[in-house]
């Protein structure tokens, strides 16, 4: 039987980008998390922590089980609308990590999205 639980996060390989959408409108955070999950894990998702106050906290989640020997690398991506914060918190099974946010101005969002398609 599998368990829905936090997955280990590699903070050095975790990125956060904020896309500005214009004046007086909230933008969007694009988050990418990488890590080494225990065998056998699937269904990786990024979930906003609804109880966190004072910014944005993202939990790296997945279904693990039955547990096997070793680990497998994973990548999980998500987008979250909201107010800009210069740093966010990404939480995994191995702790909470503060990640600096890269900003993309509203007039460069189209080019950014095309280059990352």
pLDDT (tens digit per residue) in 60-74: 999 998 888 999 999
Residues 6+ apart with CB under 8 A from 97: 9, 11, 14, 89, 90, 91
The rounded Cα 91 to chain-centroid distance in angstroms is: 9
Give 107's DSSP letter. Answer: G
Q: Please choose, from the candidates 19, 9, 11, the residue with its C-alpha nearest in 3D space to the C-alpha of residue 44.
A: 9
Are 65 and 18 spatial neighbours (Cβ–Cβ below 8 Å)? no
pLDDT (tens digit per residue) in 73-113: 999 999 999 999 999 999 999 999 999 999 999 999 999 99
pLDDT (tens digit per residue) in 25-50: 889 999 999 999 999 999 999 999 99
């Amino acid at each position: 039987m599998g368990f829905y639980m936090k997955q280990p996060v590699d903070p050095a390989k975790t990125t956060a980008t904020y896309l500005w959408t214009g004046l007086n409108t909230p933008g969007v955070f694009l988050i990418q998390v990488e890590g080494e999950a225990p065998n056998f894990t699937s269904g990786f998702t990024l979930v906003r922590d609804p109880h966190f106050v004072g910014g944005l906290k993202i939990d790296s989640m997945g279904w693990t089980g039955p547990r096997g020997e070793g680990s497998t690398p994973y990548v999980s991506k998500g987008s979250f609308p909201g107010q800009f914060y210069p740093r966010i918190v990404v939480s995994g099974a191995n702790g909470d990590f503060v990640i600096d946010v890269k900003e993309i101005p509203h007039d460069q969002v189209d080019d950014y999205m095309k280059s990352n398609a």
